[in-house]
Every structure is written in C-alpha cells, then in structure tokens.
Amino acid sequence: MRPFSTVDGPGIRTTVFFKGCNLRCAWCHNPETQSFDRELMLRPERCVGCGLCRRVCPNGLKSCDLCGACAEYCAARARSLCGEDTTAGEIFDRIEADRNFYDASGGGATFSGGECLLQPVFLEALLTLCKGAGISTAVDTAGNVGRDVIERIEPLTDLFLFDFKCFSDSLHLEGTGKGNVLIKDNLAFLAAKRPEKLTVRIPLIPGFNDSDAELGAMSRFLGELGVMDAEVLPCHTMGNEKYAALNRESPRFGSCSEERAEEVRKRYFQN
C-alpha cells in the first residue's frame, strides 16, 4: 500500500497494489507486481553485515520458502518481501484510518496493480466496503479483462484510470505480449456508459508509442469515443533498481521528460 499518494487520482489517496498482471510491458516500473506469487527482493548494497537475517531464517539462508522472517528483521531493507496474504477487512481498516485526509482533499482509495481486475471478488469486497463508508474509489487498470468483470466492478467505482498504451494491435503485442482489441473494446464501453467516470492515461514511451503516426491514431480513436482530454505520463527509469533486486533484466526503454509529455498532451490529447 502507498498512503498519501497524489499521483493516483484526485486529492490525497491511499493506493492498494494488487499482485498479478496478464501483461508484460517492456517498460514496467513495478515488476514486483507482475507475478501473483510472493517474491523476495535483495539489495546487497544496503546490507550492513549484522547477520540477523541468517539467525532468524528457519533455513539459515541455505534455501528460501518466502516466510519473510529475514525481511521483517532487516532494518537496512536489504531484504524485502513483496506480497502478503490479507483480507478485505484488514485492507479497509488501513484505508479508513486516513479518511480525514480524503475528506479534506477530495481524495480516496485507488486500487492498482499489477492488474487489480484480475482479482474481482477481492476488489469487489473492498469497493463495497469503501462505498458503504462514503470513501471515493478509483480503479487503475489496463483493461485487459473480460467485459463481465468491467460490468461487475463499474457500479461500485467512482473513477476508472484507464492505461491506454497504443492504438496498433501489433505494436501492443510487441510491447506487452498481448494484443489490444479487448482493451479498446473495454475502453469504448466505459467511454460510452459513464464518460464522467473515466480518465485515460497514456504512458509516453520513447521509441515505442511516441511517433506522430501512433500518437495521431490514438488521438483519433479517443476523439471518436468522445474522450477529449487524456493524461500523458512520461516514462521513467526509477523502477530499474527493482529488476536488479529481483534478479531480472532491466527494461530496454529509457525515460521521457515532463516537458515532452506536456508537449504531446497539448498537441494530441487536449480538447
């Protein structure tokens, strides 16, 4: 969870990250949310050599069953466990603790990922609890799920933050491992049903979706849906160190400046 967020919807928000995603975006800056399983992140450069992790580990660090003991006792955060088993009630209690900040700022709770719509039962329970308590909700999604899931979650959601990566199906397949026909269909559904509940967010990826041809195609598609404005988010490399901590190869795409993102927004995605 990320409390006091100001980048995941309006106002001050608590963002809940779900593990598990059915896309593999080549620029992903949250690789720890891709797998549904628990994962251990190792940052040896932070280690102070206290040896406590070895003493508390049931296996003496000779093998790992992801119990999380070493991470719990590592004050230097050289070891951290990604993922926890919890209940909707426990998460809601942590959300509700900061409701004064939501009320004062027009914020609320944002459910993100990974892809939170891949766990619709758990998400529905959280949204229902928030709705009952009068806490505003947002769902941050890439939209690569069945329409039945969108229809199930939509009535409980105050705002969809819809991540629209590119128009071309073949380009989407190349960059994420999946095509985007279903994604565009779900985006069109939300734009037609409840446009006031939809914010389209476009990650600007240098060398991927930043050509005039692709940006123009995205702009025309959104215009046809009646989406006159969209947010353009500059790609960054701040998550690259997570790949090293997970012993994975870093993304091949570089960063984009705020100025370039704003230029693209004004040219293509501003009414």
Residue 64 is part of a domain; what is its CATH number? 3.30.70
Do 107 and 45 share a structural domain? Answer: no
Task: Measure the CA–CA gap between 190 and 151, rounded to whole angstroms.
Answer: 9
pLDDT (0 to 100) of residue 118: 98
Give the CATH number of the domain where residue 23 resides: 3.20.20.70
Are 199 and 159 in contact, with CB atoms under 8 Å apart?
Answer: yes
Nearby residues of 269 by Cβ (< 8 Å), 6 or more positions away: 200, 202, 218, 219, 222, 229, 230, 231, 232
271, pLDDT greater than 80? no
Query: Rounded CA gap, 27 and 237, in Å?
Result: 8
Whether residue 63 has pLDDT greater than 80? yes
Q: pLDDT category, 133, cuts 50, 70, 90?
A: very high
DSSP result, 241-271:
HHHHHTT-PPPS-----HHHHHHHHHHHS--
Domain boundary among 13, 48, 82: 82
Residue 23 structural domain = 2-37+87-268
pLDDT, one tens digit per residue, over 42-61 is 999 999 999 999 999 999 99
pLDDT at position 80 is 95
Residues 116 and 57 in one domain: no
Return the structure tokens found at 194: 């409840």
Based on the fold, state whether residues 177 and 68 are members of the same structural domain.
no
Q: How confident is the model at residue 228, as a pLDDT?
A: 84
Cα–Cα distance measured from residue 188 to residue 134, given in angstroms and rounded to the nearest whole number: 28
The reply to whether 70 and 99 lie within a common domain is no
Q: What is the pLDDT of residue 190?
A: 97
pLDDT band of 237, cuts 50, 70, 90? confident
Q: Binning pLDDT at 50, 70 and 90, where does residue 197 land?
A: very high
pLDDT recorded at residue 254: 84
Q: Which secondary structure element, helix H or strand E, spans residue 139, and what is its range?
A: strand 136-141
Phi, psi of 164 (to 5 degrees): -110, 110
pLDDT of 257 above 80 = yes
**Among 235, 206, 227, which residue's Cα sits nearest to residue 269?**
227
Residue of 108, 161, 111 lying closest to 135 (CA atoms): 108
Closest CA to 162 of 170, 154, 173: 154
Quote the pLDDT of residue 214. Answer: 98
Average pLDDT over residues 238-258: 90
pLDDT at 42: 97
Strand spans (E) along 55-135: 79-82, 108-112
Residue 251: is its pLDDT beyond 90? no
Identify whether residues 63 and 165 lie together within a single domain: no
Q: Do both 68 and 163 map to the same domain?
A: no
Q: Are 167 and 221 in contact (CB under 8 A)?
A: yes
What's the pLDDT at 39?
Answer: 96
In terms of domains, do 152 and 225 share one?
A: yes
Residue 255, judged by CB atoms within 10 A of its CB (0-12, 13-18, 19+), counts as: middle
The mean pLDDT of 181-197, rounded to a whole number, is: 96
How much is the mean pLDDT over the chain?
Answer: 96
CA angle 18, 192, 156 (to 5 degrees): 40
Instruction: Report the share of the chain in percent with pLDDT over 90.
Output: 94
Cα–Cα distance, 247 to 43 (Å, whole number): 10
Mean per-residue pLDDT, 230-250: 92
